Amino acid sequence: MTTEEKRVYLLLKAVIFHYHGLDHAERTDLEGATTWLNAEEELKWAMEFIEKDQVTSFDRARAFLNDIIRDYTREKRVELINMVWESNNIKGYVTEMEATAMIRLAKDWNVEKDLVDLVLK
């Protein structure tokens, strides 16, 4: 996985997790993904991106991701949106704010129907 792909993966995960405040399970999930990807620098970058202005972090991340994601295959876009959906399920539920954020991204990436199909499974 390239540095850019690691940044996309970790920023997407982190910005959704921070939507309501990062809890212990989410922090553990982020740390596990970072270790698995060997992406300590990329996680540091993602956290700095969010901490720069937490209030606007989702909108800034959305713009950043939309610029990069448009070059990704449909399968890769679905894989990313599914990853963040599954990661949010580690705590046993997905908040309305998180679901709304994921739906907005899925719509931007033209994979909204795919997300709905994944959720219904």
| pLDDT for residue 80 is more than 80 | yes
The model's confidence at residue 28, banded by pLDDT at 50, 70 and 90, is: very high
Cβ atoms of 105 and 62 closer than 8 Å = yes
Supply the pTM of this predicted model.
0.88
- The full set of domain ranges for the chain reads 3-120
Structure tokens of 50? 């969010």
Where helices occur in the chain by DSSP H, the ranges are: 3-17, 24-37, 40-52, 57-69, 74-88, 96-108, 112-120
